[in-house]
Chains A and B, each alone.
Chain A
Amino acid sequence: MKFMLMMNMKTDAASQADGIMTWPNDDIKRHIQFMTNLNKELRQAGEFIAAEGLAWPSEAKLVRAAQDGAPDTDGVFPESKEFLIGYWILEVASLDRACAIAAQISLAPGKAAQPLYLAIEVRQIMSGPPEM
Chain B
Amino acid sequence: MKYMLLMSGTKPEFNAYAQWPREAHATHAAFMRKLSKELAGEGSFVSTLGLGWPTEAKLVRAAPDGSPVTDGVFPESKEFLAGLWIVDVESAAEAYRIAARLSSQPSPQGGSAPIEVRQILGGPPEEYL
Contacts and interface: CB of A to CB of B under 8 A. Distances in A.
Q: Do chains A and B touch in the complex (CB under 8 A)?
A: yes
Interface of A: 4, 6, 52-55, 59-66, 69-73, 75, 77-78, 80-82, 84, 89, 95, 99-100, 102-104, 106-107, 115, 117-128, 130-132
Contact of A64 (B57, B66, B100): B100
Contacts, number: 151
A106 B99 contact: no
Interface residues of B, number: 49
B81 interface: yes
A128 B49 contact: yes
Contacts of A6: 81
Contacts of B56: 123-124
Interface of B: 4, 6, 46-52, 56-64, 66-70, 75, 77-81, 86, 92-93, 96-97, 99-101, 103-104, 112-121
Contacts of B48: 130
Which are the 10 A-B pairs with shortest beta-carbon distances? A103-B68, A102-B60, A71-B100, A124-B52, A63-B99, A106-B62, A71-B96, A55-B119, A65-B104, A103-B62
